[in-house]
Amino acid sequence: MADYFLNIHQLKNYIDGKWIEGKQFIPVINPATGKKIVNVPLSSEETVDYAVSSAKRAQKDWALVPAPKRAEIIYDVGTLLKERKETLARLLTMENGKILEEARGEVQEGIDMAFYMAGEGRRLFGQTTPAELKDKFAMSMRVPVGVVGIITPWNFPIAIATWKAFPAIVAGNAVVWKPATETPMMAYELAKIFEEAGLPPGVFNVVHGSGAVVGQRFVHHPDIRVISFTGSNETGRMIAGECGKQLKKVSLEMGGKNAVIVMDDADLELAADGIIWSAFGTSGQRCTACSRVIVHENVKEKLEERLLEKIATLSIGNGLDETIRVGPIINKASIEKIKSFIEIGKEEGAKLLTGGYELTGEQYKNGHFFAPTLFTNVTANMRIAQEEIFGPVVSIISVKNFTEAIEVNNSVTYGLSSSIFTHDVNQVFRATRDLDTGIVYVNAGTTGAEIHLPFGGTKGTGNGHRDSGIQALDVFTEWRAVYVDYSGKLQRAQLDVE
Ligand code: NAD
């Protein structure tokens, strides 16, 4: 790893198969140590324009490459990701902070997505269907959209990009990607891998920089035909409005306020393990993180005892140390946001059971760390139970029965993930019917999506599209209906039907 950084002090953009120097830079900081990793360019609108024109030109030829051949390159990308999994995971932990085990899991998601989408090159199914007139053939087929603009957050720096870029490329589009400036190393590594796998120049491009300049130019560039965005609700809403005015297709994956429901027949030990993993993994900085526990009043105290016991055993620190279970918070601004919610919770009358403070001891002094936090006696309408905090903070809400649990779960503006712990099969099926979220888990926490299923949420979490799964192809393709009349005469639909 040390050798790696001897060679790289400044990242470059990757455009048209070339590595393009930046002019202005900002440092990328390891959130566990406060040390600079590398400089990342703050690119200009002109650089975006160059990348888009390269992508537009490259896409024309790429769309003519047979999809199974396009997919072979994605397969080779998967093989390279697999070979480099450990190096990538270590870099990911350094730039993002998540513990090594989770970083390996995130790279694995990219590998899984590559092999899954490589298979899609031989499917990309359309439909044939009877025509209503004699001697006429009808079918529907997917066609690429053109140039795709991908905008991603720092909390899953490689997985989310693969959810978007791989289906887009297999479907015959060209990609221009703006990663988050906090976590650009994964973009650099993925671009190198695409280059080595032999992707033609211009099909995959990376432009580093701020949301305000690079992101906004993506949104407003007339040749970017679809924006696929993952990030905060505020940014997503704004992008949706701007794309709406241009009639530009936009797919949004945004925040969550995900709950674990624990019924009074649940295996409490299992439920507590599920809550700890989904609430404090990635220090609560996952869009699917559990930030509410909705517990049946009969088992509230017992569950709280178990959670407190388990929290006391969590080791917090630099995720590169394999003994650490909870890593840092991404930056100072996030720490301040979490702290402000601790004050809000106290003012609202919630009871702090544990945590609620930034860790400042000797081993934490150069990074950003926050103690795993439990609030109890929270009511469903409190701000700490409604708003996304994006940190290791859980609100415990007690309910009297199943119906109330579902109501509380659905009372937030978000709809990403939910979970229920129960052995009652009737409650299981009612929950899968009634929980208003895009993802539902039974007897597992709120995290752990698999790449061949659709990923995304209802209500304020998104705008109806999905990442991953075959559903992702709907974002990156248009449907074309094709009619072939082989009757040799004019046949008019609806009019000439006998
Ligand atoms: P963010 O909205 O601040 O940034 C996301 C990306 O958008 C970054 O690349 C950023 O540079 C860019 N951006 C910022 N302003 C922009 C603008 N005006 N125009 C265009 N682009 C702009 O979000 P974040 O803090 O990086 O990420 C955390 C958020 O992401 C959380 O809300 C989390 O729930 C959400 N998230 C959602 C999912 C999901 O799939 N639903 C997955 C991961 C994270």
pLDDT digits (tens, 9 = 90+) for 283-327: 999 999 999 999 999 999 999 999 999 999 999 999 999 999 999
* Ligand 1 atom index nearest CA of 388: 32
Under a CB-based contact definition with an 8 Å cutoff, are residues 256 and 417 in contact? yes
Q: Is 496 contained in some domain?
A: no
Q: Is 5 contained in some domain?
A: no
The answer to whether residues 181 and 303 belong to one domain is no
**pLDDT tens profile 34-86:** 999 999 999 999 999 999 999 999 999 999 999 999 999 999 999 999 999 99
The answer to whether residues 212 and 311 belong to one domain is no
Q: Is 486 contained in some domain?
A: no
The number of beta carbons lying within 10 Å of the beta carbon of residue 3 is 6
The verdict on the CB of residue 151 being under 6 Å from ligand 1 is: yes
Q: Is 21 contained in some domain?
A: yes
Q: Is 493 contained in some domain?
A: no
Task: Specify whether the backbone of 272 is left (phi greater than 0), alpha (psi in -120 to 50) or beta.
Answer: alpha
The answer to whether residues 151 and 247 belong to one domain is yes
The answer to whether residues 44 and 124 belong to one domain is yes
CATH number at residue 283: 3.40.309.10
**pLDDT tens profile 257-273:** 999 999 999 999 999 99
Q: What is the pLDDT of residue 5?
A: 62
Q: Is 165 contained in some domain?
A: yes
* Ligand 1 atom index nearest CA of 457: 41
**pLDDT tens profile 445-481:** 999 999 999 999 999 999 999 999 999 999 999 999 9
Which residue's CA is the closest to the ligand 1 atom numbered 9?
180
Report d(CA 240, CA 392) in Å as an integer: 29
The answer to whether residues 225 and 296 belong to one domain is no
> Is residue 6 over pLDDT 60?
no
The answer to whether residues 190 and 265 belong to one domain is no
Which residue's CA is the closest to the ligand 1 atom numbered 14?
211
Task: Report yes or no on whether pTM surpasses 0.85.
Answer: yes
The verdict on the CB of residue 447 being under 6 Å from ligand 1 is: no
Determine which one of 102, 106, 182, 253 is catalytic. 253
The verdict on the CB of residue 110 being under 6 Å from ligand 1 is: no
For residue 230, the CA-to-ligand 1 centroid distance in Å is 5
The number of beta carbons lying within 10 Å of the beta carbon of residue 169 is 27
Query: In testing the pocket of ligand 1, which one of 40, 151, 243 has its CB within 8 Å of the most ligand atoms?
Result: 151
**pLDDT tens profile 222-258:** 999 999 999 999 999 999 999 999 999 999 999 999 9
> Is residue 498 over pLDDT 80?
no
Q: Is 159 contained in some domain?
A: yes
The answer to whether residues 30 and 176 belong to one domain is yes
Q: pLDDT confidence of 8, banded at 50, 70, 90?
A: confident
The answer to whether residues 241 and 380 belong to one domain is no
Our answer to whether residue 290 is catalytic in this structure is no
Our answer to whether residue 45 is catalytic in this structure is no
Domain count across the chain? 2
Q: pLDDT confidence of 497, banded at 50, 70, 90?
A: confident
The answer to whether residues 329 and 390 belong to one domain is yes
For residue 254, the CA-to-ligand 1 centroid distance in Å is 7
Torsion of CA 247, 252, 257, 259, to 10 degrees: 120
The answer to whether residues 20 and 115 belong to one domain is yes
**Residues spanned by the domain of 215:** 13-254+462-481
Return the sign of the alpha-carbon dihedral for residues 262, 290, 104, 156.
positive
CATH number at residue 250: 3.40.605.10
Report the candidate in 300, 115, 92, 88 with the shortest Cα–Cα distance to residue 192: 88
The verdict on the CB of residue 183 being under 6 Å from ligand 1 is: no
The CA-atom distances, in angstroms, between 224 and each of 27, 55, 272, 301 are 29, 9, 46, 54
> Is residue 7 over pLDDT 80?
no
The answer to whether residues 340 and 422 belong to one domain is yes
Q: Is 495 contained in some domain?
A: no
Report the candidate in 380, 445, 397, 387 with the shortest Cα–Cα distance to residue 418: 445
Average pLDDT on 204-232 reads: 98
**pLDDT tens profile 375-415:** 999 999 999 999 999 999 999 999 999 999 999 999 999 99
The answer to whether residues 246 and 263 belong to one domain is no
